């Protein structure tokens, strides 16, 4: 990976779009974000869900106007590939912590499939101390590093799919599709205990999908840094690619003018059949994305978040 220093002084562009980054091992999500922001000379950037420095994989990064809609992926389902070492626990839940032996592989349940099945559906987790969850304005991992234990409330998450890919010695390779807010380190520890091994910790974690986006669509930092600026721009998905699970409506030119004044648009033909309270993607007759609206009454749409004018956007055929 190119380790050229970041410079605060460069010409910033109003570029908008979504880059699907394959985050490498060993750097924080924020560090990866800053590298991409500089690579694109973007005036604004944000990511859609933190990956730990030791984790790798899909990190969608929003540039410019796309940052307005990043929350669409913050709550999206995610898929992970994890490697857990059975019979041991770690103070951090991963390979960075102090490792202790807590069990014996000989005592492991032979009915692994049933144990994993028991962890599918709605389950309850207690967030780990080594997490970014805040307490009185400070992340829990800050307290953990100071040796302070904070009481945490349990929370419900959903495991949609959980399966074993391989069992090699003490290491189990699993694949998980889960709701947002799921702590994979906690899941590994709980599975290790349920298998009769006393616990487990993660030796590797890779995020392979976020909603409909997958690693096959992503780029590495090395790939991006090896490109010219026009080549980098082609790698961006359009801003509205974040919102494809919402219905789309087309507005006539008069309705577009009304919308851009922040007023409710009445009776767009394409809105027929939509439900009150439903969020919708809005376009003009030339298929330019205008922003996100909400159906407030039958045949009426109120603007929620609109695209600003004068922004260089990613190519529509990338969405």
Active site residues: 52
Return all residues near 65 (Cβ < 8 A) that are at least 6 apart: 16, 239, 307, 308, 311, 313
Return all residues near 166 (Cβ < 8 A) that are at least 6 apart: 172, 173
Return all residues near 231 (Cβ < 8 A) that are at least 6 apart: none
Residue spans of beta strands (DSSP E) within 38-170: 45-47, 56-63, 78-86, 88-90, 99-101, 121-125, 134-135, 138-139, 155-168
Phi and psi at residue 8, to the nearest 5°: -75, -20
Return all residues near 263 (Cβ < 8 A) that are at least 6 apart: 303
Alpha carbon 92 to chain centroid, angstroms: 22
For residue 168, give both structure tokens.
């090699």
């Amino acid at each position: 990976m190119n380790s050229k220093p970041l410079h605060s002084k460069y010409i910033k562009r109003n570029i908008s779009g979504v880059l699907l980054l394959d985050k490498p091992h060993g750097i924080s999500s924020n560090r990866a974000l800053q590298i991409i922001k500089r690579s694109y000379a973007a005036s604004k950037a944000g990511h859609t869900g933190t990956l730990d420095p030791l984790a790798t994989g899909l990190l969608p990064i929003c540039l410019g106007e796309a940052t307005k809609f990043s929350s669409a992926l913050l709550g999206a389902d995610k898929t992970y590939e994890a490697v857990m070492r059975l019979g041991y626990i770690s103070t951090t839940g991963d390979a960075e912590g102090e490792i202790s032996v807590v069990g014996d592989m000989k005592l492991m349940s032979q009915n692994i499939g049933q144990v994993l099945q028991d962890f599918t559906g709605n389950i309850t987790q207690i967030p780990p101390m080594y997490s970014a969850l805040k307490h009185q304005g400070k992340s829990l991992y800050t307290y953990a590093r100071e040796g302070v234990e904070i009481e945490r409330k349990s929370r419900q998450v959903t495991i949609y799919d959980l399966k074993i890919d391989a069992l090699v010695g003490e290491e189990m390779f699993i694949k998980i599709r889960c709701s947002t807010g799921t702590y994979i380190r906690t899941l590994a520890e709980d599975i290790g205990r349920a298998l009769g091994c006393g616990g487990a910790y993660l030796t590797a974690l890779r995020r392979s999908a976020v909603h409909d986006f997958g690693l096959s669509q992503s780029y590495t930092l090395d790939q991006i840094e090896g490109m010219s600026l026009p080549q980098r721009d082609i790698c961006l998905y359009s801003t509205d690619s974040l919102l494809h699970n919402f219905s789309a409506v087309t507005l006539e030119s008069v309705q577009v003018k009304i919308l851009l004044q922040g007023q409710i648009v009445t009776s767009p033909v394409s809105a027929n059949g939509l439900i009150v309270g439903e969020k919708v993607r809005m376009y003009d007759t030339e298929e330019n994305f205008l922003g996100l609206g909400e159906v407030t009454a039958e045949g009426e749409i109120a603007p929620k978040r609109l695209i600003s004018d004068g922004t260089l956007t990613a190519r529509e055929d990338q969405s």
